[in-house]
Amino acid sequence: MKTSAVIQVFGIPTDHQFTSQDDLVAMFLDSLSSTNTVRNGDIIVITSKVVAKCEGRVVTEANDRESAIRSQAKRVVATKVHDRGVTTIVETHSGLILAAAGVDASNTEPGTIVLLPVDSDHSARGIREQIEERAGVSVGVIITDTLGRAWRLGVTDHAIGAAGITVLDDLTGKPDAFGRALEMTIVAVADEIAAASELVRPKDSLTPFAIVRGLGHLVTQEHGPGARSIIRPTEEDLFALGTAEAIALGKERAITDRRTIRSFTHVVVPDGAIQTAIEAAVTAPAPHHTTPWRFLVLHFNDPQHQQKRIALLDAMALTWQRDLEAEGKSQDEVSKRLARGDILRTAPCVVFAFMDLASGAHTYPEAGGRNNSERDMFLVAGGAAVENFLISISSQGYGSAWISSTLFCAETVRNHLGLHSSLLPLGAVAIGVPESIPSQRPPKSAAGFLLD
């Protein structure tokens, strides 16, 4: 695209105090000096403050700023508490993300605050039509607001409304100066123009208008998609929430997002993910300040691990088969039940969890009794650790199923692995990448779980 090497930016001052009684376009045209008329291809930049005032978007109860912000907000994106109070970044009903919903007490009558125009693109289209009609020229119009930026200090003006102008210049696929195709280069030209205009419209200068000349190639016949099209769709936004809000949501969802997953892809689970989950597991509370948890990790893609896994599962299956036959189950039923354990044979990773009573459980003189209570207390701590493990696995993006089988053949497991009798199995956890997205968990009210 050819551009002129020089652009001109003229500030158009007026000491008029705008109200809803004003004809904004008349005020703009009247403010032009005889040497500075509006020309074909000009871009007229107008601060949203005067557009809003002319549209009657002034709230007189300045002390009701918070409710004014809330009324303009679709959702709170981020909050930051600081010495001067709380900064709230919100998404407005028109999709803009900005501090305090753009509700502003600067350059307004004392005791009043100004909201943003309801639909700045709509306002820009109306202003453009009127300028073209009254001045007989073809122009683009940009309505601006002064915004902060994530990652960078300082504010700049941005286009929040636009008509008759290319707002995004998509250079993707076009050659750079060396002939290489540009990748994903979309220039926000409307924002660049808005920022340039702010250089001639200082905040204390009563200069609500600017004319940008020399960018006629960006002025379009149609009103075009407007500044709304500059807003990044939320689903494409890597930073759709502030840091504190994202952390809070992550904490809240870490527990409820864990689901039992019984079907995995063949994707390998990296050992680092398992180590991370074990490190989360062993932060669980346990009696007597002990750390009684032990884990056997067997990966499918390690032939020695897999051999050990299958041998253990075969031994467990034999015990299970004997138990089922002793119960009088038919061969068909026995086969069906045994097949349910297949997930542990094929899952990309299986972690067998144990609790070691020898790591600090107290013993009592009587048989059973308090010794059983002590064992149960350690088993409860085992459950806490496995739940931590499952939550960590889930928060790392993997799925898991906690399978009870080792609990029902503890002796077999210990004998097969050569483990001391103090080691109590806590079940086996199958882990992998879920084959499909688990269904949403139905909400459960605490009321249904309370004893009278």
Determine the Cα–Cα distance for residues 92 and 75; give it in Å rounded to an integer: 7
Residues 6+ apart with CB under 8 A from 101: 68, 69, 72, 73, 88, 90, 92, 115, 116
CB of 399 to ligand FMN, least distance (A): 10
Q: 197 or 412, CB closer to ligand FMN?
A: 412
Q: Does 427 bind ligand FMN (CB under 6 A)?
A: yes
* φ and ψ of 386, to 5 deg: -65, -40
Q: How far is CA 342 from CA 22, 33, 338, 392, 405, in A?
A: 77, 85, 8, 24, 11
Asked if 113 and 67 count as a contact pair (C-beta separation under 8 A), the reply is no
Instruction: Give the one residue of 20, 243, 256, 260 binding ligand FMN; rule: CB under 6 A.
Output: 260
Q: 27 or 402, CB closer to ligand FMN?
A: 402
* φ and ψ of 306, to 5 deg: -65, -35
Residues 6+ apart with CB under 8 A from 299: 268, 269, 271, 305, 306, 348, 349
Instruction: Give the one residue of 402, 410, 419, 422 binding ligand FMN; rule: CB under 6 A.
Output: 402
Asked if 394 and 259 count as a contact pair (C-beta separation under 8 A), the reply is yes
Binding window for ligand FMN (CB under 6 A); candidates: 96-104, 120-128, 140-148, 400-408:
400-408
Determine the Cα–Cα distance for residues 307 and 110; give it in Å rounded to an integer: 80
Instruction: Give the one residue of 297, 401, 413, 431 binding ligand FMN; rule: CB under 6 A.
Output: 401
Q: 207 or 405, CB closer to ligand FMN?
A: 405
Q: 248 or 255, CB closer to ligand FMN?
A: 255
CB of 145 to ligand FMN, least distance (A): 46
Residues 6+ apart with CB under 8 A from 138: 40, 41, 132, 164, 219, 221
Asked if 37 and 28 count as a contact pair (C-beta separation under 8 A), the reply is no
Q: 298 or 403, CB closer to ligand FMN?
A: 403
Q: 155 or 384, CB closer to ligand FMN?
A: 384
Asked if 159 and 227 count as a contact pair (C-beta separation under 8 A), the reply is yes
CB < 8 Å & 24+ apart, contacts of 365-370? none
Q: 142 or 390, CB closer to ligand FMN?
A: 390
CA angle 278, 358, 365 (to 5 degrees): 145
Instruction: Give the one residue of 229, 404, 415, 421 binding ligand FMN; rule: CB under 6 A.
Output: 404
Q: If binding means CB under 6 A, how many residues of this protein chain bind ligand FMN?
A: 8
CB of 322 to ligand FMN, least distance (A): 18
Q: What does the DSSP assignment read for 321-377?
A: HHHHHHTT--HHHHHHHHHTTHHHHHSSEEEEEEEEGGGT----SSSSHHHHHHHHH
Residue reference for tokens 């897999």: 306
**Residue list 71-110, contact with ligand FMN (CB under 6 A):** none
Binding window for ligand FMN (CB under 6 A); candidates: 100-108, 118-126, 278-286, 399-407:
399-407
CB of 404 to ligand FMN, least distance (A): 3
Q: 140 or 427, CB closer to ligand FMN?
A: 427
Q: 226 or 427, CB closer to ligand FMN?
A: 427
Determine the Cα–Cα distance for residues 141 and 119; give it in Å rounded to an integer: 14
Q: Does 353 bind ligand FMN (CB under 6 A)?
A: no
CB of 124 to ligand FMN, least distance (A): 51
Asked if 406 and 413 count as a contact pair (C-beta separation under 8 A), the reply is yes
Binding window for ligand FMN (CB under 6 A); candidates: 19-27, 50-58, 133-141, 403-411:
403-411
Q: Does 408 bind ligand FMN (CB under 6 A)?
A: no
Q: 227 or 423, CB closer to ligand FMN?
A: 423
CB of 338 to ligand FMN, least distance (A): 13
Asked if 147 and 105 count as a contact pair (C-beta separation under 8 A), the reply is no
Helix (H, G, I), strand (E, B) or coil at 138: coil
Q: Does 403 bind ligand FMN (CB under 6 A)?
A: yes
Q: 259 or 308, CB closer to ligand FMN?
A: 259
Determine the Cα–Cα distance for residues 14 and 30; give it in Å rounded to an integer: 9
Binding window for ligand FMN (CB under 6 A); candidates: 15-23, 218-226, 228-236, 401-409:
401-409
Q: Does 167 bind ligand FMN (CB under 6 A)?
A: no
Binding site residues, ligand FMN, CB under 6 A: 259-260, 401-405, 427
